[in-house]
Amino acid sequence: MADPNPPAPAHRAHVPVLAGAVATVFEGVLPGTYVDLTLGLGGHAEMLLDAHPELTLLGIDRDPEALAVARPRLRRFGDRVTLHHARSDELASVLGHLGVTDVTAMLADLGVSSPQIDQAERGFSYRSDRDGPLDMRMDQGRGATAADLIADMDEDTLCRALRDLGDEPHARRISRAVIDAQPRTTAALAEVVRSSVPAARRRRGDPAKRVFQSLRILVNDEIATLDRTLDAGLAALVPGGRMAVIAFHSVEDRMVKTRFRTAAEGDCSCPPGLPCVCGATPTARLLQRKPWVAEAAEAATNPRATSARLRAVETLHAEATGPGRPSPPPP
């Protein structure tokens, strides 16, 4: 007999983060190809395809399982949709391979998706009821798992990563314990981390959360990949095209902010506040100086949204890119 309460498809529970801000950024976008660099469950993609009949989608994800979930969701858009398994920094070769030259919109919504975290066997979750192999690869066909990385790593390297990526105050004692224990499962890692920091000294919540996030960023080489992705993305847009990035980590957000500002100021070396005389050429304009963040209603229903920062630029037409500082963006 059929289950009267079948589980909802994974995508139905998924609300794309900062959906209103993403819609605003792409209002009035030029007709052409919209590249979703981190397709995930296809939530933003579906929203933008509905809102913009003039766009076709090239959806990229490094996780083949994400593409398998997004594909049926986007089927109703027919040949407006092309999906491709790749990492975002491989954009140039994907576009070359597919012969796409009219990219007018691009979105990267960084990090992992909820189904990746929810599936114990993917190894992303620090929750004790979701024990699984210590994997954490977004693409399970490529690269070393978190357990292998720990096996190859020394204590100092792990300690630095926990400080830089997790802002972890107990990085030294945690890394010593982890390297000693060599955990191979998520529950074992979470247990080693928690038992190395006495409960009385946990002023900033569960240290396992920060350790898992730092390791995930390392395993997937997320910082260097973002750096290359920003260059590849800006280079691929036609003049007047828009690129938006949603970051959840302060290191990533800073990187996006700096790269977009450099594009908007043309790598200007003049003192701030003075007119540009160094001949720097802006290639883009910021759509808003400050990042878009979640409104209270979204933050209340989606805790993940509270750390989301959306930044966006529009590339300039050749005639608009003379030397000098562009006019300041709206506040």
> Residues interacting with ligand SAM, by CB under 6 A?
14, 16, 37-38, 40-44, 60-63, 66, 87-88, 109-113, 138, 225
Cβ closest to ligand SAM, residue 103 vs residue 197? 103
* CB of 105 vs ligand SAM, minimal distance in Å: 13
Q: Residue ranges of the alpha helices (H) in the chain?
A: 19-25, 43-51, 64-74, 91-98, 114-118, 146-152, 155-166, 171-181, 186-196, 207-219, 222-236, 250-265, 296-301
Cβ closest to ligand SAM, residue 44 vs residue 285? 44
Cβ closest to ligand SAM, residue 113 vs residue 196? 113
Cβ closest to ligand SAM, residue 87 vs residue 285? 87
* CB of 327 vs ligand SAM, minimal distance in Å: 31
Q: Which of 68, 116, 113 is nearest to 246 (CA)?
A: 113
Residue 280 per-residue DSSP state: -
For residues 234 and 255, give the distance between their C-alpha atoms in angstroms, rounded to a whole number: 14
Q: Which residue is nearest to ligand SAM (CB)?
A: 40
313: left (phi over 0), alpha (psi -120 to 50) or beta: beta
* CB of 38 vs ligand SAM, minimal distance in Å: 3
* CB of 285 vs ligand SAM, minimal distance in Å: 24
Cβ closest to ligand SAM, residue 139 vs residue 155? 139
Maximum distance among all Cα pairs of the chain, rounded to whole angstroms? 76
| 204: Cα within 13 Å, side-chain hemisphere | 11
Answer whether 110's CB lies under 8 Å from 225's CB.
Answer: no
Helix axes 171-181, 186-196, angle to 10 degrees: 140
* CB of 163 vs ligand SAM, minimal distance in Å: 23
* CB of 247 vs ligand SAM, minimal distance in Å: 11
* CB of 267 vs ligand SAM, minimal distance in Å: 25
For residues 227 and 41, give the distance between their C-alpha atoms in angstroms, rounded to a whole number: 24
Cβ closest to ligand SAM, residue 38 vs residue 315? 38
Cβ closest to ligand SAM, residue 11 vs residue 285? 11
Place of tokens 């790593």: 153
SS3 82: strand
Cα–Cα distance list, 32 to 57, 102, 104, 230, 304 (Å): 9, 5, 6, 20, 31
Cβ closest to ligand SAM, residue 221 vs residue 267? 221
* CB of 53 vs ligand SAM, minimal distance in Å: 19
